[in-house]
Chains A and B, each alone.
Chain A
Amino acid sequence: MSDRHTVRVTVNGEPRVAETEARTLLSDFLRHDLGLTGTHVGCEHGVCGACTILFDGEPVRSCLLLAVQAEGRTIETVEGLAPDGRDHLHPLQEAFRETHGLQCGFCTPGFLMTLVPFLEENPDPTEHEIRMALSGNLCRCTGYQHIVDAVQLAAKKKTDEGGA
């Protein structure tokens, strides 16, 4: 009785089509059907934030959406931050690298996809605002301090650039 659907979705600017079961989670669809394994899966009940993606521009948990719900929508995943590979990282990724904002890296895609839109909305956030913004993402390695540092560094670089 498997209920199958064709899903047409724009991922990181590219139109993608795949057939999938109705019960396939969007996180699994991205990883298994589209081969985009940058989106990580931790808890699968909305708590850890590892699976965060942008859905029509807004950060959401991909483990709490069905792939069929993405029909006709636009998605950005962590792969979209650095389409040209490791030599052209997104400024926030650069900042994570510089400040040791990651250790094992499991949580990192979720933090990036949460914090990239946060920085766009709040180009000059306070430390408190940063901590509130990342309170929906769990990291078992860094103790969060270096992630906060990364966001501050990225914000600073951006304002320095803008001011120059």
Chain B
Amino acid sequence: MKPAPFEYRAPESLEAALDLMAEHGSEAKLLAGGQSLIPVMNFRLAQPAILVDLNRIEALDYLRPQDDGSLRIGGLTRLRQVERMADLPRHSALLAEALPWVAHPQIRNRSTVGGTLSHADPAAEVPAVCLVEGARFRLARKGGERWVPAADFFRGLFDTALEPDEILVEVELPAPRERTGTSFQEIARRHGDYAMAGVAASLRFASDGRIDEGSLVFLSVADTPLVASEASAMLAGEAPSESLFEAVARHAATAEVDPAGTIHATPDFTRHLVGVLTRRALAAAAKRANGEGETT
């Protein structure tokens, strides 16, 4: 099997890559880990005229903890490298918990942070984590750059705020907040397969023990990662309890997700999974916020 012919360019600096994208725009495609792009090129579902390979740009490959506790990750950093960062759970326990769910180690050895976000597969784990964590993304183009919050980035199925000549160069994960616990839960048919359903959750508590803020984002249930704002709002101001989590899970499963169904899961079954995963995630997040149990 071969992709259709293309012209291959491997710039060694971000500037050179941005020049190429400015010149060729939508005719050109960026190649990062290739773990999503090469398969679609092998099937000839994508036939870019020019392939701009980012893999020689070492300046885009880094993990930089900041003094304020936030973490900056270069767009070309491999998922496996992020996963291996010893301090990762201190920066984002949620990301640390979610990464092993992304495909297999052999795939994560190549997949990049910028690639999984730009590809915007609704079944992908990292976009949901970035939404819950309130991450923002730095998008560069020739002669300028802008920051886009995760909440404004995911537009539709495989569709994002990126313009054809832009490159996602950096992710910023804000510093972890106090009295906050998170949890990532997923069901896949086989370890490493795409999720049948999944949820990233966080709960922040006020000093009186009530929930200050809750956040639930689902994967694999819609065209984009789905921010469950109603279910999240039901948590605010409440005391944590099994019955609260049960009610929130029921609302999310019946009123907030509207899964289309796949050959592996009917809409009803997907709703069932959403309910079960939400209950588990909220219970685990509450425990962790209170310092019980393991922290990752």
Interface residues of A (CB under 8 A from B): 1-3, 5, 21-25, 28, 44-46, 49, 52, 55, 58-61, 63-66, 68-69, 114, 132-133, 135-136
Q: Which residue of B lies closest to A2 (CB)?
A: B5
B208 at the interface (CB under 8 A from A): no
Name 25 interchain pairs, CB-CB below 8 A, sorted by A: A3-B6, A3-B8, A5-B8, A21-B5, A23-B2, A23-B5, A23-B6, A25-B1, A25-B2, A25-B42, A28-B2, A44-B1, A46-B107, A59-B109, A60-B109, A64-B34, A64-B35, A65-B34, A65-B110, A66-B38, A68-B10, A114-B106, A135-B192, A136-B103, A136-B192
Residues in chain A near residue B31, CB distance under 8 A:
66
Residues in chain A near residue B105, CB distance under 8 A:
59, 133, 136
On whether A24 and B2 interact (CB within 8 A), knowing A136-B103, A136-B106, the answer reads: yes
| Binary per-residue interface labels of chain B (30-70) against chain A in the complex, 1 for a CB within 8 Å, 0 otherwise | 01001100110011000000010101000000000000000
What is the minimal beta-carbon distance from A50 to any residue of chain B, in angstroms? 12
Q: How many A-B residue pairs have CB under 8 A?
A: 88
Residues in chain B near residue A69, CB distance under 8 A:
10, 34, 53, 55
Q: Which residue of B2, B39, B192 contacts A64 across the interface (Cβ within 8 Å)?
A: B39
Secondary structure of the B contact surface, majority rule: loop
B38 & A58 in contact (Cβ 8 Å cutoff) = no
CA distance A45 to B39 in the complex (A): 5
What is the minimal beta-carbon distance from A47 to any residue of chain B, in angstroms? 9
Residues in chain A near residue B39, CB distance under 8 A:
44-46, 64
Residues in chain A near residue B10, CB distance under 8 A:
68-69
B8 & A68 in contact (Cβ 8 Å cutoff) = yes
B190 at the interface (CB under 8 A from A): yes
CA distance A25 to B41 in the complex (A): 11
Q: Which residue of B8, B43, B109, B191 contacts A66 across the interface (Cβ within 8 Å)?
A: B8
A45 & B43 in contact (Cβ 8 Å cutoff) = yes
A136 & B104 in contact (Cβ 8 Å cutoff) = yes
Interface residues of B (CB under 8 A from A): 1-8, 10, 31, 34-35, 38-39, 42-43, 51, 53, 55, 80, 103-107, 109-110, 190-192
Q: Which residue of B3, B4, B51, B110 contacts A60 across the interface (Cβ within 8 Å)?
A: B110
- For A28, A44, A59, A69, the residue with the greatest tally of chain B CB atoms inside 10 Å of its CB is A69
CA distance A132 to B190 in the complex (A): 10
What is the minimal beta-carbon distance from A82 to any residue of chain B, in angstroms? 22
Residues in chain B near residue A3, CB distance under 8 A:
5-8
B4 & A23 in contact (Cβ 8 Å cutoff) = yes
Residues in chain B near residue A21, CB distance under 8 A:
5
A59 & B106 in contact (Cβ 8 Å cutoff) = yes
Q: Which residue of A5, A64, A132 contacts B191 across the interface (Cβ within 8 Å)?
A: A132
B106 & A22 in contact (Cβ 8 Å cutoff) = no
Residues in chain A near residue B7, CB distance under 8 A:
1, 3, 22
CA distance A66 to B2 in the complex (A): 10
A52 & B1 in contact (Cβ 8 Å cutoff) = no
Residues in chain B near residue A64, CB distance under 8 A:
34-35, 38-39, 110
B2 & A46 in contact (Cβ 8 Å cutoff) = no
A46 & B192 in contact (Cβ 8 Å cutoff) = no
Residues in chain B near residue A5, CB distance under 8 A:
8
CA distance A63 to B35 in the complex (A): 10
Residues in chain B near residue A61, CB distance under 8 A:
35, 106-107, 110
Q: Which residue of A lies closest to B106 (CB)?
A: A59
CA distance A3 to B191 in the complex (A): 39
